[in-house]
Structure 1
Amino acid sequence: MGCKRFSLSFRFLIIYFQLRVEDILVRGLNWSKLLDPNKKGQWWLPADIASTADNVEEVANAIDKEVLEAQQLLQLAAAQRMNTDARKAIFCIIMSGEDYIDAFEKLLRLDLHGKQDREIMRVLVECCLQEKVFNKYYTILASKLCEHDKNHKFTLQFCLWDHFKELDSMHLTRSMHLAKFVAEMVASFTLSLAVLKTVDLADIKQLTAKRTMHFRMLFEAIFEYPDSLIWNVFTRVAVTPELESLRHGIKFFIKYIVETNKSLNEKFKLAKKALNNAEGVLM
């Protein structure tokens, strides 16, 4: 049993080493410390543990706890079909981050090659959709990444378009989380409603029950925000001539699908007015 734990932990460290990550899962232990020729005493332990470890059993328990955590994360990664070393490393960083800043900084340290950096957004969105309860941690982290590098924004758009294609076969919880995720990204102005340009919201034949429900949840989530934000969100797609088809689709969808929710009538009127705001005047 002990050998199995060591093997999994070592494999985890090897994955990180290959990707040149400084901070590995064993908290407080980094590669500079690992390779330091002047290591003394219980150098492998975080300072707070090393100072209180008075006997071998306590040290062993501390190490076992970290190794078990690594093992559990790798098992979870496998269950979520993280089938490459890059995807596993990204998954473990996102899922073990102390907060979005911690995860963001560690993701930046990954020396991903070629198209591997595109996996960051795909893994992030998948983690969000797999949660039992929607967690804004993922949208905040996604916004931070997009702010840092516009390539993440492009990757995210393509990722969302792929998920839109799967709506008819998507589980309800995943669909709900995806709708909230997109609404959050639009409301934070990380993305615009132009992300919906691949969807024909005015085509009744395409608006199956599941697709209709999904986009209704998305718009209703946006309409929960203050009027000024709603105005600015819809104005963003009002000033681009190339998005005329999208504007038509949104107006159609709001009028015949979403507007049945009478409690949001004023929000709908505001949105439709903003879609005609070709001058782009913001609130």
Structure 2
Amino acid sequence: MSSLAQSIFTMPVLPEVGHNDFERAARMLHKRAGIVLGDHKREMAERTLAMRARSMHLDQVQQYLDHLEMNPHSEHWETFVNAFTINHTAFFREHHHFGVLAKFARSRKKPFAVWSCASSTGEEPYSIAMTLRESCPAPDAGVTVLATDIDTRAIAAAKEGMYSLERAKPVPEEYLRKYFQRGTGRRAGMVRVKPLLRDMIQFDVLNLLASDWPVNQKFDAIFCRNTMIYFDKATQTKILERFATVMKPGGLLFVGHSENFTYLTKAFQLQGQTVYVAC
């Protein structure tokens, strides 16, 4: 028998996926994280669920879901949610937002605080921090960024602040020299954020659907871009109205290019292209 044939016959069989496992998992994910798992993702989701069940040495996906439901504080909830989060991001994505932020920051009094509430692997909060360092006088005092995400792996990567030169392409060359260290040896082709930028940012894991947000300050601006599209309208409205409670008067909310919340709440008023102001 060829080595290829042997590898096929020795591949571990994935646990059984039941008829209703996808729908059950979708309900659980929505309840836990607010994420709507569309039917078009069924095949991907069922394979993901089967792989998670196999990692726990279970024979059926149903057993995996039973474990989660019976153990709300299980460590396996973390990997369950992580498996369905999407971490598509880039430095200075939707570039016009950073021009608006720079102008706004110059017009506000300190302390000046920004919350990147779906910060993924860090490109967004580091772009915010660079913008603030360039636009605020004496940015080392009274200028802060809170960066949160539900995905624990993404937050760990964001804290590390290491990226390939390819991913750092959108960063202006001047900023690369000022705010990043270039890797050498084994890390050639990589860059790492310098401490003067990382020290402006507090990273934390946060679920926007949690009953309590571990936030003890008011924000001048909140970035919540391309995140609400994964929530239903009721969840979007709830989160928007909670944002309003942690914003300073006249604060700005930055959203994604495909998101429109004009008719969901009176807490925010559209000010410009995908920028809302707190009423």
Above 0.5 in TM-score?
no
> What TM-score results when the alignment is normalised by the length of structure 1?
0.28
Q: Which has the higher helix share?
A: 1
Q: Which has the higher strand share?
A: 2
> What TM-score results when the alignment is normalised by the length of structure 2?
0.28
- Bigger RCO of structures 1 and 2 (CA < 8 A, at least 6 apart): 2
